[in-house]
Amino acid sequence: MEHSFTHLVDAQRKFFAQGHSRDYNFRRKQLCTLKRMLKKHRAQIIAALAQDLGKPSFEAYISDWYLCMQELNIALTNLHNWIKPKYVSAAPFFLWGSRSCIHAEPYGVSLIIAPWNYPINLIIIPLIHAIAAGNCAILKPSELAPHTASLLTRLIQDYFPADYITVIEGDMHAAQALLQERFDYIFFTGSKRVGPEIMKAAARHLTPLTLELGGKNPCIIDASASVKNVAWRIMWGKFFNAGQNCLAPDYVMIHQSLYQEFVRHAIDALKSMYGSISQESLDYARIVSDTHMERLINLLPHSTIVYGGTYDRASRYFTPTLITDISLGHASMKEEIFGPILPIITYESLDQVKEYVQAHPDPLTLYIFSNHQKAIDYVMRTIRSGSVCINDTLLQATNSYLPFGGIGSSGFGAYHGKKGFDTFSHQRSVIHSSSYTGLLRYPPYRWIHQLLRSFLQVLVK
């Protein structure tokens, strides 16, 4: 099926050119409208997430609804200060008498492409920043979360004019057609496989963009760690949303002296959280599609399953699974797992861990479990990552005052809070010159040459 979205992009570009979205009161009103929409339809949002992902209501509330409300409240509280010009010092000396400032200007028409694993959070939070910065926006939700995408389409249509904000549903062909258009900013959250294609599309029009991708996030546990506490926190972080999380712990590297104790506490934690039969738990999500189920099933061979390993294709249930006795070349170590399988690997020294992680693409996040500051400093100094969480999991993405983003192959650019506003804003430099600014700049230079040389020698010391 042929798609063309030129008319839609042109309509938004025309709306933007009228200047409505730049106005502070307009931006604030739209953020309040979005907040009202989320509050009024919270139950529908949570129900749609349950239909698409079997997402437990508490997980849906916390990760897909509450975090959006938190971002909205921060934007509404701080927007007035964010949009003010920021004055800076005037240097070099011949600018004395002038005023220099930075204006945060909206880019224009933005495209926000979101994945299926947090289909409200990962589209609404970038939208909050796009609105706050004064942009128009076209939203492309994932077709793998159809109930959420359909609900989002209806709600946005009811609350916002299409030439300001609109939603485009559809599969990869719709996304490809959108990427043929010229946007002023592209914000993409998704896989490392698709990220380069988004970048190629943006390059055709020299469009600035943010790529929020994934990565194999290591959990490094040294010999000083409190094993029971560590096990509970990793089990929670790993199996939240059935492991379908770009921030999920992807594999554990644990000092060999703690392995047996860690496995015992991990199994106890899983049974306590989800019961002996996790398929009956109301607090455990399902796998998003049959294709993802098969991919996960194919990661199990040639490993020792110490817990779980069972699944039901019909209901897309995959039990929380711990595997070990794998080589570093095992299938589970070659790609981001993005599901409820956790490989556990032992090591003798942190140097081994460093060498392994350094030899692979930079992770989106790094989890360090240790009670020794020297060990923490060593790992942070030698391993790059988009973010770090020490002695816990996932929490680094919940603080809206911390920027969230990747590095290297896990993406570039960041958002959340003020950083999100900056991401969707062009930092425009402005200088106001006065009638006496730079009076000594004009030729002939000879009569002031010696004076300036002497003055500058003092200035630059």
What pLDDT does residue 1 have? 46
Is residue 241 over pLDDT 90? yes
- Do 200 and 225 belong together in one domain? no
- Do 418 and 375 belong together in one domain? no
Range of the domain at 13: 6-213+411-427
What pLDDT does residue 96 have? 72
- Tell me the pLDDT tens digit for each residue of 199-209: 999 999 999 99
Question: What's the average model confidence in pLDDT over 407-425?
Answer: 96
- Do 178 and 269 belong together in one domain? no
In the chain, the N- to C-terminal Cα span, in Å, equals 68
In a domain? residue 89: yes
Is residue 2 over pLDDT 70? no
- Do 121 and 235 belong together in one domain? no
What pLDDT does residue 97 have? 77
In a domain? residue 311: yes
- Do 188 and 314 belong together in one domain? no
Distance in angstroms (rounded) separating the CA atoms of residues 329 and 395: 30
Beta carbons within 10 angstroms of residue 51's beta carbon: 14
CATH number, position 312 = 3.40.309.10
Q: Which residues pair with 345 in a beta bridge?
A: 253
pLDDT mean across residues, the chain:
94
In a domain? residue 435: no
- Do 313 and 389 belong together in one domain? yes
pLDDT range class, residue 262, cuts 50, 70, 90:
very high
For a pLDDT cut of 90, what percent of the chain falls above it?
Answer: 88
22: which DSSP letter?
Answer: G
Question: What's the average model confidence in pLDDT over 440-460?
Answer: 66
Q: What is the DSSP string of 300-358?
A: STTSEEEE---EETTTTEE--EEEES--TTSGGGTS---SSEEEEEEES-HHHHHHHHH
- Tell me the pLDDT tens digit for each residue of 45-90: 999 999 999 999 999 999 999 999 999 999 999 999 999 999 998 7
- Do 189 and 225 belong together in one domain? no
- Tell me the pLDDT tens digit for each residue of 290-331: 999 999 999 999 999 999 999 999 999 999 999 999 988 899
Range in 48-62, 248-262, 276-290, 434-448 with the lowest mean pLDDT: 434-448
Is residue 277 over pLDDT 80? yes
What pLDDT does residue 126 have? 98
In a domain? residue 110: yes
- Tell me the pLDDT tens digit for each residue of 352-396: 999 999 999 999 999 999 999 999 999 999 999 999 999 999 999
In a domain? residue 132: yes
In a domain? residue 63: yes
- Do 162 and 180 belong together in one domain? yes
Q: What is the DSSP string of 382-425?
A: H---SEEEESSSSGGGT-TTS-EE--GGGEE-EESHHHHHHHTE
Question: What's the average model confidence in pLDDT over 223-246?
Answer: 97
What pLDDT does residue 442 have? 72
In a domain? residue 71: yes
State the amino acid at position 125 in one-letter form: I
Rg of the chain over Cα atoms, rounded to whole angstroms, equals: 26
Q: Which residue has the tokens 């003010």?
A: 84
- Tell me the pLDDT tens digit for each residue of 129-178: 999 999 999 999 999 999 999 999 999 999 999 999 999 999 999 999 99
- Do 56 and 196 belong together in one domain? yes
- Do 294 and 415 belong together in one domain? no
- Do 316 and 396 belong together in one domain? yes
Residues carrying an active site annotation: 212, 246
Is residue 236 over pLDDT 50? yes
Q: What is the pTM of this model?
A: 0.94
CATH number, position 141 = 3.40.605.10
Is residue 117 over pLDDT 90? yes
- Do 188 and 235 belong together in one domain? no
Question: What's the average model confidence in pLDDT over 410-430?
Answer: 97
In a domain? residue 432: no
State the amino acid at position 88 in one-letter form: V
Domain count within the chain: 2
Question: What's the average model confidence in pLDDT over 322-348?
Answer: 95
Beta carbons within 10 angstroms of residue 342's beta carbon: 28
